[in-house]
Amino acid sequence: MVFKETIQFIQDKFNTKDFIPLHVPHFNGNERKYVLDTLDSTFVSSVGAYVDRGEAMMTEISQTKGAVAVVNGTAGLQVALQLVGVKPGEEVLTQALTFVATTNAIQYNGAQPIFLDVDYDTMGLSPKSVLDFLEEFGERRDKGTFNKKSGKRIAACLPMHTFGFPVHLEELLAVCKDWNIPIVEDAAESLGSSYKGKPTGSFGKVGVFSFNGNKIVTSGGGGMIVTNDEKLGKLGKHLTTTAKIPHAFEYFHDQTGYNFRMPNLNAALLCAQLEQLRSFLENKRKLAGDYAEFFENQGITFRKELENTKANYWLMCVEMENLEHRNSFLEVTNGSKVMTRPIWQLMFRLPMYAHCQRDAQTNAEFLEQRIVNIPSSAI
């Protein structure tokens, strides 16, 4: 099958016949000014005015009470799970249709993921799948909810907002509240997305964003933990700065901490990028609208935001008819220097997670064979 019209449309949108990547950053604001300012100040490491400013900006953007800048989103997830009480030997409910960082963060804590199916419409963790699992395997005890099959405590639920499309948060929150399981939102891909008018990342006990080079806003490498629990926010900052007790000259660390603090140099870049978030979102929504109109005429499903949600359209995607159709699309587009990419392989297909408990994964496997990302840079 030939996809000449799609290739031509994308080349016209990005105004080039050269290689078109999936997503690139745009530096059209104060990036150079702020980075040079950090060099002049000599505060380029983990202490500096831009770290504080970036945290304040993210607190406002996420509509939370506190933010902690970290070196990357994965480190943020690792610490966020600790903040809600995840301990070695426990379990975390999550989705298999995700980037590996979601699952790695669980394992870094010595815990184990339980893979539950996603919803077809959001591509994110399904509240019904969580409820069905808990009704079959969950057991309420004085110390929390336990898995009757493994005997281990289910310490948290970790949904991921796939490509910036919010999961069904209201339903998921209700299920987890009933079973006394805290939610950590993996909002790495959803900066600027919202659910019923409220930003993603602000619904769970803790939320985590990523500012990797391919994200909608970048600090080169970096992430942010956000929370409405001020006590957890302070603990998060403490843990990510080697758990050092503040003192003018003495070094005393009261527990095992991490050197996960975002450098001021990266924070300077972040602040300049966050200043442009609104324009990035507007440009991406315009591109998404153009894609939606084009693919409708091609008979290909372009994934759009659901009612009562607002997606940031970080990575835009199409749904192909089947695996063969998907593979043909990937070969033709990439062969024409238009980068496209299949959605991730399901986590239980990876050797380190093949043993983990999971449900039928009906929607996840359906989507795995059909979803393809297309060039999504703000233009």
pLDDT exceeds 80 at position 1: no
Largest alpha-carbon pair distance within the chain? 68
Where residue 281 falls among pLDDT bands split at 50, 70, 90?
A: very high
Q: How far is CA 92 from CA 25, 70, 115, 227, 340, in A?
A: 33, 22, 9, 19, 32
Hey, CA dihedral for 333, 335, 338, 341, is it positive or negative?
Answer: positive
Q: Using 50, 70 and 90 to split pLDDT, how confident is the model at 28? A: very high
pLDDT for res 110: 98
Give percent of the chain with pLDDT exceeding 70: 99
Q: What is the Cα–Cα distance from 129 to 133, expressed in whole angstroms?
A: 6
Question: Is residue 367 scored above 90 in pLDDT?
Answer: yes
DSSP line for 105-144:
HHHHTT-EEEEEPBPTTTSSB-HHHHHHHHHHHEEEETTE
Residue 210 pairs with which residues in a beta bridge? 223
Is the separation of the CB atoms in 340 and 132 below 8 Å? Answer: no
Position 215 confidence tier, pLDDT thresholds 50, 70, 90? very high
The stretch 270-284 carries a mean pLDDT of: 98
Q: Where does the pLDDT of residue 47 fall: very low under 50, low under 70, confident under 90, or very high at 90 and above? A: confident
**What angle in degrees, to the nearest 10, is found between the helix axes of 169-178 and 127-137?**
20
pLDDT at 192 over 80: yes
Residues 6+ apart with CB under 8 A from 343: 97, 123, 317, 367, 368, 371, 372, 373
- pLDDT more than 90, % of the chain: 98
Domains in the chain, ordered, with CATH?
Answer: 4-25+277-348+357-374 (3.90.1150.10), 31-276 (3.40.640.10)
Arithmetic mean of pLDDT, 135-144:
97
Distance CA 125, CA 127 (A): 7
Task: Show the CA angle centred on residue 81, arms to residues 76 and 83, nearest 5°.
Answer: 90
**Does pLDDT of 87 surpass 80?**
yes
- The stretch 169-183 carries a mean pLDDT of 98
Residues 293-334: tens digit of each pLDDT = 999 999 999 999 999 999 999 999 999 999 999 999 999 999
Average pLDDT, the chain: 97
Q: How confident is the model at residue 2 (pLDDT cuts 50, 70, 90)?
A: low
Residue 91 near residue 112 (C-beta atoms within 8 A): yes
Global confidence as pTM: 0.97
- Of the chain, the end-to-end C-alpha distance in Å amounts to 29
Asked whether 130 and 93 are in contact (CB, 8 A), the reply is yes
Q: Is the pLDDT of residue 35 over 80?
A: yes
Q: Which residues contact 2 (CB under 8 A, 6 or more apart)?
A: 332
Average pLDDT over residues 352-378: 98
